[in-house]
Homo-oligomer: A and B are copies of this chain.
Amino acid sequence: MSTPRFESIRDIPLFADMAQESFDALTRGSYVQNFPPNMVMISEGETPDFLHIVQSGCVELFSTWSNRETSVTTLYENSTFILAATIKDQLILTSARTLQKSRIIMIPSENVRSVFKTDPEFAMAIVEELSRCYRATIKNMKNLKLRTSLERLANYLLKQHRRQGDVLEYQLPIEKRRLASYLGMTPENLSRAFNNLKPYGVAVDGQTITITDMATLVAFAKPDILID
């Protein structure tokens, strides 16, 4: 018996190859929920009862310690979160909040673990997704430790440029203060960093970024497939 409610996620890579029977078992007891912007869905330290998937909207993973907060990553359509905690059934390491109105699919962790054991295609997809997230985090850490804040910003702008279809003018997808936190700097410093990138071919007006001199920007940023 197929559950039409979840057919919209049937095509995402995590589920694309699995048997229909497994998919139905997985989504049994799952549900879809709409969240308003700026809503904390999960707090670090909790138990992972559900694997979460962003169907639409935008989610920030962040973490706090001793009155400080940092943005770990930003997730868009079809991204999963809480996957590693779900698999190991251990405490969740990062909190999650919506940045926009978002539609989130929640699959009981128990379902994920049991279907993992019976459906090799799903197991393969899980391990691919985990590897992808893991590698992304390693890249993130290399970015933080090997580059200055100005270099990180330059590479972030180049990456967005590519993600948005190689246009020279585009909108930042997130608020600057969150971008600052993601890049490991303060909002004040991000503001100055934008100014400092001006001679390297970047113009900023509000949320609008214009790359005015691609060659110079690339020469400064030195993007690297093993980081970006």
Contacts and interface: CB of A to CB of B under 8 A. Distances in A.
Interface of A: 44-45, 63-66, 68-70, 72, 83-85, 87-88, 90-91, 93-94, 116-117, 120, 123-124, 126-128, 130-135, 137-142, 144-147, 184, 222, 224-227
A93 B138 contact: yes
Contacts of A116: 123-124, 127
Copies in the complex: 2
A130 B134 contact: yes
A135 B90 contact: yes
Nearest to A64: B146
Contacts of A83: 131
Given A127-B130, A134-B133, A142 B93 contact: yes
Contacts of A133: 134
B124 A127 contact: no
Given A70-B146, A134-B134, 20 more contacts: A45-B226, A64-B146, A69-B146, A70-B145, A72-B141, A84-B130, A84-B131, A84-B138, A85-B135, A87-B127, A88-B128, A90-B135, A93-B138, A120-B120, A123-B123, A130-B134, A133-B134, A137-B137, A141-B141, A145-B184
